[in-house]
Amino acid sequence: MRVTQESLPELRKEIPYKWKVQTAKHWGCECVAYIDARQVMDLLDEVVGPQNWQDHYREVAGKVYCDLSIQVEDEWITKSDCGTASHFEAEKGQASDAFKRAAVKWGIGRFLYQLSTVRTKSLENGKDDRGNPRFFPADEQGQRIYNLTGYIHNLQSRKKTGYEPAVRKATPPSLRQGSGNSLRQGPDISLSGSESRSLSGVEGSHSPVSESATQPQRDEIRLLCESLGWSGTEFSKYLQAKKMSWKHLMRAQAARLINELESQLPSDINALSKV
């Protein structure tokens, strides 16, 4: 494979990306899009070929620099940048960050700079090592967002199609204490009494307790529904179509539900941090 100047613009193309929290305060969370080093390597392999690029590292005045070189026609061209230490494994963090920054010099991931940040609400939960409050992203109902990428992609998809979901009410405290008609501790994915009764005769309604879905399974389903932006009504209709009962959900059914719901989430690609 021979690399030419004409093929290099392909390195600038947009590739799938994820979202992460950049700033978390009491007023909310600022989220930015990112791609990771492995995705950069895959793109280099795809566009220029694995034999036509190489990376080398050197330390200058305590900083780690990455020299990222590509053989263009018959000449090796190098672009460099330094990295900053991460909170964990400082040396490894600097090398990874230097690689990603050098890749930006070649145009990889530069499209990220054109994407706006996304702000969410925040939820205080615990303290950090210094005793300061820790904040996590939360949805409009004030519930913690566990799958940030799925949540933001779903939110943006709804805006593009012009569809805005109805504001969902938080589950009353009485329903969070393990009521059979609700998703335990769920903010909004709950089944009304009539919905529960309508499902009482479907598959699995008299399953033995030992075969019932576990609480971790139910929690996982709740989080997936939250990431998909589903309301309780939407989820109950989904269960009806599958001929399942939330109250009498079996472990095997829960496992299938989790796989099916995960397949509906937008693709999650590990990706290069926005610099």
Report pLDDT digits (tens) over 164-205: 444 444 433 333 333 333 333 333 344 334 333 333 333 333
Of 198-202, 207-211, 254-258, which has the strongest mean pLDDT? 254-258
Does residue 223 belong to any structural domain of this protein? yes
Does residue 59 belong to any structural domain of this protein? no
Does residue 69 belong to any structural domain of this protein? no
Considering its fold, how many domains does the chain have in total? 1
Q: What is the arithmetic mean of pLDDT over 125-151? A: 89
Position 58 pLDDT exceeds 60: yes
Q: What is the arithmetic mean of pLDDT over 264-271? A: 48
For residue 85, the model assigns a pLDDT of 66
Q: In which domain, by residue range, is 194 found?
A: 173-263
For residue 174, the model assigns a pLDDT of 32
Does residue 87 belong to any structural domain of this protein? no
Q: Which residue has the higher pLDDT, 193 or 23?
A: 23
Structure tokens at 56: 């080398």
| Dist CA 189 CA 153 (whole Å) | 19
Q: What is the arithmetic mean of pLDDT over 238-250? A: 87
For residue 162, the model assigns a pLDDT of 59
Q: 40 CB contacts (<8 Å, ≥6 apart)?
A: 99, 100, 103, 108, 109, 272
Q: How many CA atoms lie within 13 A of 195 on its CB side?
A: 21
| Dist CA 275 CA 269 (whole Å) | 18
229 and 154 Cβ atoms separated by less than 8 Å: yes
Q: 142 CB contacts (<8 Å, ≥6 apart)?
A: 121, 123, 170, 187
Q: Which residue has the higher pLDDT, 129 or 33?
A: 33
Strands of 75-82's sheet, edge to edge? Answer: 53-60, 63-72, 75-82
Which segment of 19-28, 115-124, 151-160 scores lowest on mean pLDDT? 151-160
Burial 111-142 (b: 16+ CB within 10 A, else e): ebeeeeebebbbbeeeeeeeeeeebbbbbeee
**pTM of the entire structure?**
0.55
How many C-beta atoms surround the C-beta of residue 224 within 10 A? Answer: 22
Beta bridge partners of 239: none
| Dist CA 203 CA 240 (whole Å) | 10
For residue 158, the model assigns a pLDDT of 76
Does residue 224 belong to any structural domain of this protein? yes
Which residue type occupies 197?
Answer: R
Does residue 226 belong to any structural domain of this protein? yes
Mean of all residue pLDDT scores within the chain: 77
Q: What is the arithmetic mean of pLDDT over 22-41? A: 92
Band the pLDDT of 46: cuts 50, 70, 90. very high
Position 51 pLDDT exceeds 60: yes
Q: Which residue has the higher pLDDT, 226 or 203?
A: 226
Give start and end residues of each alpha helix (H) in 106-250.
148-161, 193-198, 215-228, 232-242
Q: 215 CB contacts (<8 Å, ≥6 apart)?
A: 184
> How far is residue 236 from each of residues 130, 180, 183, 257, 265, measured CA to CA in Å?
44, 13, 11, 13, 18
Q: What is the arithmetic mean of pLDDT over 121-142? A: 89
For residue 86, the model assigns a pLDDT of 57
For residue 206, the model assigns a pLDDT of 40
For residue 191, the model assigns a pLDDT of 39
Band the pLDDT of 93: cuts 50, 70, 90. confident
Does residue 180 belong to any structural domain of this protein? yes
How many C-beta atoms surround the C-beta of residue 93 within 10 A? Answer: 16
Residue indicated by tokens 């998809």 = 157
Rg of the chain over all Cα atoms, to the nearest angstrom: 24
How many C-beta atoms surround the C-beta of residue 33 within 10 A? Answer: 23
Q: Which residue has the higher pLDDT, 191 or 213?
A: 213
For residue 117, the model assigns a pLDDT of 92
Does residue 47 belong to any structural domain of this protein? no
